[in-house]
Amino acid sequence: MPNNKQILIIEDDLQISQFLQSSLKLNAYHSLCASTIAGGKRLFNEHKPVLIILDLNLPDGDGRDFIAYVRASSDIPILVLSARQSELEKVACFDLGADDYLAKPFGVNELLARVKVSLKRTAMMSLRDDLYKLDDLQIDTANNSVLLNKKTVHLTPIEFKLLFTLAKKPGKVFTHRQLLTEVWGAEYVDDTHYLRIHMGRLRARLEKNTAAPRYILTEVGIGYRLATT
Amino acid sequence: MQKPSLQLYALQLLAILILLAITTAINHSIFSTLGITGVTLLYLLVVVLAAYFCEFLVASLTAVLAFLAINYFFIEPRYTFEVAHVESWVSLICFLIVSIVVTSLVKQLKFQTLQAATATKHAQFGRTLAENLALAADVDNLLQDTCALLQTEFDKPFGIVQTLENKKYAMQIKSGAIEMPDSSLLNWVLENGKAISPYTNYWSKSAHWLLPFNRLPSLDSIRDPILVVSNISEDDSIEIFSAIKSCVDQISLAYQRLINIEKTKQAELSAQEEAVQNALLASISHDMRTPLTSILGAATTLQQPNLDALQTAHLSALIASQARYLAATTDNILSLVRLESSAQIPMDWQSPEEIIGGVTALYKNRDEIVNFEVHINEPELLIKGNASLLMQALTNLIDNAQKANLHHQPIEIEVGKTDNRINISVNDRGNGFSENFDASHINKFSTSSAKGFGLGLSIVQAIAKSHDTLFTIHNREGGGVSATLSFHAHDVENIDAE
């Protein structure tokens, strides 16, 4: 099993941990398991996994502390699993640097799809992080160009900034706060209506069906991400 | 009634002396024309004026001075106090008696007039107080209004001391500038159920009058309010104290009535909550057994040997479907609990298009095939709401539409704006509701379907209520139901493309 497919699972519930391991193994991923934050830190430092699946409620602390710990030294994808449903909890995880969030209960297919997306993003970034290409859409952040069906799409400066921010890390969820800070500035973090309107206009230029978007996906109540598959 | 001051006496006396001097001068100059009868009548007029406008003492003095003036200036021998004729004595004594009688009668008349005016004022105050007490709907308003009313009537600052949970005193309700009395006084009043004032012989030197709402010694757990009256002066009579005490008794009755109403309401609410909780528990324990039985049955069947791939796939799909149903139901119950317990739900600008996108993606992720038709009739519409709750509401409406959609027609989701409202509708082509159906009478845990807790529409209704939104359901022409959430269209500032 190649080392670059090692996935670290930090989950204190034995049954969930077991079915996660089985599912990952069936899909050719090698998994490492820890049931505490301390164990997770040890395995993270020793094995340098390619992705972390993290539960939030752990016996020795809150999983969010582990996100902050990892983000201090690494950019590897972190997929959070939690029974906590509150939007504020989710946003807090994304603001700390989590890449994705899956609420319990979840289906294995959905989990595997999210794992795949996160790993693909890492792979894309390692190839060339200034070029995004999916179906008919191509975003070249180095040359400031956006092509749809090989034709240049004319965007306003704010739409460019929004799209390029998302294109920096395709597949990663950017919270409303992160996007507002990045595009408008920190003083605009509460003006979510700016974001909704401009995102609606951007989608109108890029998407065939704005109610079922292909490229710019909504994480309702949290933020947006650029599709990778 | 206030006692007149010495200054007032002096002023009145001066005015009377001037009036008597003028009258004497006039009488003296035209005595030959007026005669003794005219002179006497003019002096009597002065006595009547003094009786009407001055204090009784001054009026009586006026009568005596007038008597002496007539004797000295106009009775023979003139300019002496001697009286020459018997008829003159009779006239003088008659004048004195008439003067004193008139003065006394006027004094009595003035007193009765004053009493009548005071009685009218008290009656008017009593009526206003009684109306206030009868109409008061809550304790705070009752205390605040009556405090203000007492201040207007008695021209003194009033305050109401209440006992806080930590057994400390607070005077949040007051009318006029009034200081908090010493806590030892308040303790004594509550412990003994007695008032403090000079007329009760308790703490007679206190700067305040303290009157307890409850005339019985208070238990530690029940500590009723105390009325505090300030600006006490020596002139404040026992009548004023008794009047205020009688007001406190009336206020106390109204206060107890409101407290009892509140307690009754609280008890009814608790009983209702308990009934709802019991119904919820009964529903959960009954209805959750069905999907759990399916899951247990399918799982134990999967443990059997010799199952073919098709059977295995079928049983796995059954477990997954029942588990999803249980998860959705748990979400619904949690939402309902959150909605009913949460004081404030975080709201933000939301795009209906994004919410609908989120819901359609949810069904796609669940591998459920739902045929949607989305119509966004106006772009760039924004509503104020909570994304998760709005998604929950739409999901419940779509689930209902799907259950009713026996002919597998597309479920239409429509967003539009009419007048000042943004409407999100979920339309199906099912059998529709009966004609008597009323969306405002949706009850928790009541369902027309054999499966389910009947929570779906209750939650939509609760979410609509929390968003100050109208929720309507009506049968469509051509069959089916249209369920609509109608949001107030808030003004969103114009946003430039740049």
With CB atoms and an 8 Å threshold, state whether B497 touches A199. Answer: no
Does residue B205 have a pLDDT over 80?
Answer: no
- Taking phi over 0 as left and psi of -120 to 50 as alpha, with beta for the rest, B68 belongs to alpha
ipTM of the complex in this document = 0.75
Question: pLDDT confidence of B450, banded at 50, 70, 90?
Answer: very low
φ/ψ (deg, to 5) at B155: 55, 45
Q: Residue length, chain A?
A: 229
Tell me the per-residue pLDDT of A13-33, one tens digit each, with 9 for 90 and over. 888 898 899 889 888 899 999
Q: Considering only residues A78 and B445, tell me which one the structure prediction assigns the higher pLDDT.
A: A78
Rounded Cα distance, A125 and A130, in Å: 8
With CB atoms and an 8 Å threshold, state whether A211 touches B353. Answer: yes
CA distance A38 to chain B (A): 31
Query: Which pLDDT belongs to residue A147?
Result: 92
3-state secondary structure of B427: strand
Question: pLDDT confidence of B365, banded at 50, 70, 90?
Answer: low
Does residue A122 have a pLDDT over 90?
Answer: no
Tell me the per-residue pLDDT of B2-37, one tens digit each, with 9 for 90 and over. 567 888 999 999 999 999 999 999 999 999 888 888
Q: What percent of chain B has pLDDT over 70?
A: 89
Q: With beta carbons under 8 A apart, name residues in chain B contacting A177.
A: none
Q: Residue length, chain B?
A: 498
Strands (E), B386-480: 411-418, 421-427, 470-475
Query: Which pLDDT belongs to residue B164?
Result: 83
Span B395-420, average pLDDT: 86
Give the residue on B whose Cα is nearest the Cα of A202: B497
Does residue B209 have a pLDDT over 80?
Answer: yes
Mean pLDDT of chain B: 84
Q: Considering only residues B301 and A3, tell me which one the structure prediction assigns the higher pLDDT.
A: B301
Tell me the per-residue pLDDT of B381-394, one tens digit each, with 9 for 90 and over. 899 988 888 988 89
Span B363-369, average pLDDT: 70
Does residue A204 have a pLDDT over 50?
Answer: yes
B382 at interface of A, judged by CB pairs closer than 8 A: yes
Tell me the per-residue pLDDT of A41-88, one tens digit each, with 9 for 90 and over. 999 999 999 999 999 989 999 999 999 999 999 989 999 998 876 778
A46-56 burial, b if ≥16 CB within 10 A, otherwise e?
eeebbbbbbbb
Size of interface A-B (CB pairs under 8 A): 85
Which residue from B354, B365, B367 is facing A220, i.e. has the nearest CB?
B354
Give the residue on B whose Cα is nearest the Cα of A210: B353
With CB atoms and an 8 Å threshold, state whether A221 touches B365. Answer: no
- C-alpha distances out from residue A81 to A113, A153, B227, Å: 14, 37, 60
Burial, A15: exposed, middle or buried (Cβ in 10 Å; 0-12, 13-18, 19+)?
Answer: exposed
With CB atoms and an 8 Å threshold, state whether B376 touches A210. Answer: yes
Span B351-371, average pLDDT: 81
B182 at interface of A, judged by CB pairs closer than 8 A: no
Which residue from B358, B382, B493 is facing A196, i.e. has the nearest CB?
B382
HSE-CB at B47 with a 13 A cutoff on CA atoms is 28
Question: pLDDT confidence of A1, banded at 50, 70, 90?
Answer: very low
Q: What percent of chain A has pLDDT over 90?
A: 46
With CB atoms and an 8 Å threshold, state whether A196 touches B388. Answer: no
Q: Considering only residues A106 and B414, tell me which one the structure prediction assigns the higher pLDDT.
A: B414
Rounded Cα distance, B362 and B394, in Å: 11
Query: Which pLDDT belongs to residue B415?
Result: 93
Query: Which pLDDT belongs to residue B493?
Result: 62
> Which residues, including other chains, have CB under 8 Å from residue B296's CB and lie 6 or more apart?
none
Span B35-56, average pLDDT: 92
Does residue B342 have a pLDDT over 50?
Answer: yes
Q: With beta carbons under 8 A apart, name residues in chain B contacting A197.
A: 380, 382, 492, 495
B111 at interface of A, judged by CB pairs closer than 8 A: no
Question: pLDDT confidence of B451, banded at 50, 70, 90?
Answer: very low
Most A CBs within 10 A among B354, B366, B372, hence the mutation to make, goes to B354
Using only C-alpha atoms, chain A has a radius of gyration, in whole angstroms, of 18
